[in-house]
Chain A
Amino acid sequence: MDLEILSRLQFAITIAFHYIYPPLSIGLGVIMVVMEGMYLKTKDKFYENMTKFWVKVFALTFAIGVATGIVMEFEFGTNWATYSRFVGDVFGSALAAEGIFAFFLESGFLAVLVFGWDKVGPKMHFFSTLMVALGSMFSAIWIVVANSWMQTPAGFHIVGEGINARAEITDFWAMVFNPSSVDRLLHTLSGCWLAGSFLVISIAAFYLIRNKHIRFAKSSIKIALVVALIASFFQLFTGHQSAVGVSKNQPAKLAAMEAVFNTQTNAPLYLFGWVNEKDQEVKFGIAIPSLLSYLIGFSTDTEVKGLNDFPEDERPPVNIVFQAYHIMVAIGFLLILISVVGVFYWWRGTLFSKKWLLWIFVFSVLLPQIANQVGWITAEVGRQPWIVYGIMKTSEGLSKAVQEGQVWLSLILFTIIYLALFVLFLYLLNEKIKHGPEDVDSIPSELGHPKA
């Protein structure tokens, strides 16, 4: 394997692993705000305990998110030095803004959120929860802006030539609001809310099946189901917006997502299939005629540009992108279905006696996680062979001072350490679930809010 593949693999592994955690933190953040808000409103200690339990889960996801996130901040420099030199002027400012606007806010108030229950009053504590939730979303804003700039670069010009060529900023706001950032940000955020709400739904459903912590579990499921229902429909909307954006700004990616080889109107939309890239055909596929053209332009006459219209060295891998994209879409619809069914039985008053649905809830936690990962793969592999779309190729962005052997070693070590970290995470999460929320009556009073 050459340096490019190794470096890409390392980045993919480190980002994929990292990307398990921030979505959980962002999603849990919203839910904690709702729960603690209910505590402030009702003054019922029950909601405080409920919040406390989810704060502990949150702290666990946050810790691993931070530990693996530092790697991301430095990895552009270690493995993608040429890229860093080229884009630092533009891309670096988004990362720096993330640090100064999001990380300080998050980590500062996290201290109060986790350790400050008996140090500040309930209102101040609620404010801290709110700030942590906001901080985690600010962080998503800047990182998605930075990534979107790589997808649809704007607000810059190229200065110098050859190895001295650099992208320099010309318009900061055009860079921030580049053509894809808003759509992609909303799409990413709703993915995060889904990740958080289905974690809550899953753990709470497990308690119900085991007949434990009944009031806690029912209440948690209701709150999380509302978030999940809103987020899953919002996800459909933002997903559509993103796809329309991709069709305009990154036509090669759209062509790969739906395996369109020849430019055509009345382009079909596949439900599933297997792409044979050599023969340029989709096997075992079922497609709805003309739907792709209709969806991206609201007319079956909309022309979809095919991959054959792009030079051969500017086409992304097709089957990976196709599969990743279709898995994501399928899961998106499944999550809508699960949320709607859940809310329906809740309305009928029989939700908590439907054992089969509770079991589906238990395993539903995996769905947003898978969707987030394959969605990210669609976005990033679909951008290939470019690191900055249309401007710089991935193969041109590597570090020149780094040898293959060094990356082999770091790649192997990252893989081992992350696997161990993942096992540890599951173990500790399991311990927390087994321990469960504190019972209201069994908590010594001095651990509550002495200032309340």
Chain B
Amino acid sequence: MEFTLDLNTVWFILIGTLLAGYAILDGFDLGIGALHLLVHTDDERRIMLNSIGPVWDGNEVWLVTGGGALFAAFPEVYATVFSGFYNAMILLLFMLIFRAVAIEFRSKRPMKWWRQTWDFAFSIASILIAFLMGVALGNIITGIPIGPDKEYTGTFLQLINPYSVLVGITTIALFMMHGSIYGVLKTEGELQNKLKGWVNNTIIFFVICYVTTTMTTLIYYPNMANHFKEFPALFIIALLNMLAIANIPREIYHGREFFAFLSSAASIALLLTLFAIGIFPNIVLSNPNPEYSLTIYNAASSEKTLTIMLIIAAIGFPFVLAYTISIYWIFRGKVKLTNMSY
């Protein structure tokens, strides 16, 4: 097929960028959450929590803005997916609430039962959020039943199928790996040694999931590979992705944690790129009636709105990058607990 870089494609890429930004940034703090219960002392748990303390909130903004941008650029996708996945969305929202509240309230009281309850809520919510995101991606690959009126016609249980569960678990593994590397960056001493051990374990866990998901996708959903067959040059992305993953243990071994983290961030971005190329130009594949799929054309806002939004993005994005980079710069280095900490 012909590829032209029109407004709709640009917005497909921009929404993808927002989601990749979200996955990279919130990915590590969800990963920290998933690993949280594996450390046991109160001080260590506080260090884990405070490693993401100043940034988790800003990381979540990527999701909120992604939601808003999706609403503006592809309202049909926003409407179909959010109403079609109603139960899953509500569950996701509850988990986001629990998680935010748990982070905020955990260390406010000294009682053991209080802290353990919030620790549990924080960790379970982090795992479930990662899982639900993965399940959603999985369903976009398998396709979901959509009617001629662009409405979802399936049920909630249909969304939980072996393939989407597999993608969900892969997402948990990915974020655990990413989070443990971030943890190594932010901690020192005994806790850091513990986290270093987990980096290796989570890499193995992730690679197993990754290989299984890739094989399953190629066997059952070969349409995901169509563009790669048409444009073999795209295969470089898949190759780079594997190199990025393989590079992580190497950097950890040499003690260059920051590069390990960059490598892990790159692998997330590349994975999402592979996914985006696979589904393009569909955003939501309709299965069994592919003619009802929501594409970047039939689900999009008017050209005028896409243009306005592009101007808004062009004005806003440099600022967003500037704040994000400054905040991470200000809070660089190892976590120290103070009286303003969580």
* Residues of chain A at the chain B interface (Cβ within 8 Å): 59-60, 63-64, 66-71, 73-74, 76-79, 81-82, 84-85, 87-93, 95-101, 103-105, 107-112, 114-120, 159, 163, 168-170, 172, 399-402, 406, 409-410, 413, 417, 421, 424, 428, 431, 447
Q: What size tier do the contact residues of chain B reach? A: 35 or more
Max chain B C-beta neighbours (<10 A), residue from A71, A108, A119, A410: A108
Q: Identify the closest chain A residue to B54 (Cβ).
A: A111
In the complex, the answer to whether A115 meets B54 with C-beta atoms within 8 Å is: yes
Across-interface contacts of A59 in B (CB, < 8 A): 104
In the complex, the answer to whether B87 meets A406 with C-beta atoms within 8 Å is: yes
Across-interface contacts of B72 in A (CB, < 8 A): 88-89, 92-93, 95-96
8 Å CB interface, B295-342 against A = 301-302, 304-305, 308-309, 312-313, 316-317, 319-320, 323-324, 326-327, 330-331, 338-341
In the complex, the answer to whether A105 meets B67 with C-beta atoms within 8 Å is: no
CA distance A415 to B64 in the complex (A): 22
In the complex, the answer to whether A77 meets B304 with C-beta atoms within 8 Å is: no
User: Could you list 28 examples of A-B contacts with CB < 8 Å?
Assistant: A63-B100, A64-B104, A67-B96, A73-B64, A73-B67, A77-B82, A81-B82, A82-B79, A84-B78, A84-B82, A92-B71, A96-B65, A96-B72, A97-B316, A99-B69, A101-B316, A103-B61, A103-B65, A104-B324, A107-B61, A108-B327, A109-B323, A111-B58, A111-B330, A401-B153, A406-B90, A409-B87, A431-B109
Shortest beta-carbon distance from A116 to chain B in Å: 6
Across-interface contacts of A431 in B (CB, < 8 A): 108-109
In the complex, the answer to whether A99 meets B97 with C-beta atoms within 8 Å is: no
In the complex, the answer to whether A67 meets B97 with C-beta atoms within 8 Å is: yes
Across-interface contacts of A104 in B (CB, < 8 A): 58, 61, 65, 316, 319-320, 323-324
Q: Identify the closest chain A residue to B66 (Cβ).
A: A99
Q: Does B75 contact A (CB under 8 A)?
A: yes
Q: Does B80 contact A (CB under 8 A)?
A: yes
In the complex, the answer to whether A421 meets B97 with C-beta atoms within 8 Å is: yes
Across-interface contacts of A87 in B (CB, < 8 A): 75
In the complex, the answer to whether A108 meets B323 with C-beta atoms within 8 Å is: yes
In the complex, the answer to whether B323 meets A60 with C-beta atoms within 8 Å is: no
Q: Identify the closest chain B residue to A120 (Cβ).
A: B330
Across-interface contacts of B149 in A (CB, < 8 A): 163, 400
In the complex, the answer to whether A68 meets B97 with C-beta atoms within 8 Å is: yes
Q: Identify the closest chain A residue to B303 (Cβ).
A: A168
In the complex, the answer to whether B90 meets A78 with C-beta atoms within 8 Å is: yes
In the complex, the answer to whether A93 meets B80 with C-beta atoms within 8 Å is: no
Q: Does B197 contact A (CB under 8 A)?
A: no
Q: Does B152 contact A (CB under 8 A)?
A: yes
In the complex, the answer to whether B304 meets A170 with C-beta atoms within 8 Å is: yes
Across-interface contacts of B288 in A (CB, < 8 A): none
